[in-house]
Amino acid sequence: MKTLDSHIVFALAALVAAGCQQATTDNFQNPPPGVPETCTQIASLPGCGNGSISYGCTSDRPDDVMGASGDSQQLACSAGTPGPNATTQYCCAPFSTYFAGCAVDTTIAGCGATSIGFDCGDTAPSDADPTIACSASLGAGKYCCNTAELSPSCAVESSLAACSGVEVGYNCVDGASPSDGDPSLACTSAGGGDYCCLPFAQATTTCVEAPGVCAPGAFGFTCAPGQSPDALDPVLACGPGGGGAVCCTLK
């Protein structure tokens, strides 16, 4: 993990001292100020945890803070997915893009579900906020990160060599998997308790993870008729697996 520059550490400490409406592990004011009136806080979306906030918006984005400067912009949000009543739903991490030297990037291929894309300088998003789990650098300072709540038996291993692209590495013990009970991730075993996990919005009406049906390094799914994982996420290349399952790899 990179070491934060002294000015970033000082700035984050100042934010902690500013006082919170709600105590969370990120030490930001929750909910952050300046969210557009077209956005309303909703029940937590799958994978939107560790102090993150879910919003439904009829227009704008929750992190569209008009005229924001400095630490006024304290949210970093996912690209957004269609929700009920013509809304778009977002998972937003309390995160100072200004002090971390990062900007939200909604164009990173495969960084979907409730994951958040970042375009950063020398500081990785997880260096500024350890509650965020990130892929290794995708090049040019880009990362795909999530705030999914993990089983106590799992920990982030962001430098896991077996993982590539938007995959996030984890290590688990006691037979646990990072995707246990979390439909925002699909995981494949890399052996030795290591897993590589992909942002994937699982649903019984589309596709759900099918662990252990594919060779190591491939993601297994079972899908509803007429659905396929690669149609839901174009970074996947899929083919038939055993028992009616579909096996996919990153393109």
Phi first, then psi: give them for residue 242, nearest 5 degrees: -75, 150
Q: Which two tokens stand for residue 124?
A: 């990785």
pLDDT bin (cut points 50, 70, 90) of residue 181 is: confident
CA-wise closest residue to 88 among 104, 72, 76, 77: 77
Higher pLDDT among residues 22 and 35, named by residue? 35
Q: Strand, helix or coil at 98? A: helix
| Virtual torsion, Cα 181, 185, 188, 193, nearest 10 deg | -60
Q: Would you state the pLDDT for residue 121?
A: 81
Residue 150 pLDDT exceeds 70: yes
User: 66 in the Ramachandran plot: left (φ > 0), alpha (ψ -120 to 50) or beta?
Assistant: beta
Q: Would you state the pLDDT for residue 193?
A: 94
CA-wise closest residue to 185 among 141, 160, 235, 149: 149
Distance CA 141, CA 119 (A): 6
Q: Any alpha helices (H) in 107-239, and if so which ranges?
A: 125-128, 229-232
How do residues 103-143 score in pLDDT, each as one tens digit? 999 999 999 999 999 999 878 999 989 889 999 999 999 99
Q: Would you state the pLDDT for residue 64?
A: 84
Q: Which residue type does 120 have?
A: C
Residue 47 pLDDT exceeds 80: yes
Residue partners of 16: CB distance under 8 A and separation at least 6: 27
Q: Would you state the pLDDT for residue 30?
A: 55
Q: Which residue type does 176 have?
A: A
Q: Would you state the pLDDT for residue 70?
A: 45
Question: Rounded to two decimals, what is the model's pTM?
Answer: 0.83
Beta pairing class for 53-57 and 168-172 = unpaired
- At which residue do the structure tokens 């650098």 appear? 137
Q: Would you state the pLDDT for residue 136?
A: 93
Q: Would you state the pLDDT for residue 33?
A: 62
For residue 116, give Cα distances in angstroms to 107, 142, 216, 217, 244: 10, 11, 26, 23, 32
Quote the mean pLDDT of the chain.
85
Q: E strands within the chain?
A: 39-41, 53-57, 75-77, 81-82, 88-94, 102-104, 116-120, 133-134, 142-146, 154-156, 168-172, 185-191, 194-199, 207-209, 219-223, 236-240, 246-250
- Cis peptide bond upstream of 211, omega within 30: no
Beta pairing class for 102-104 and 81-82 = unpaired
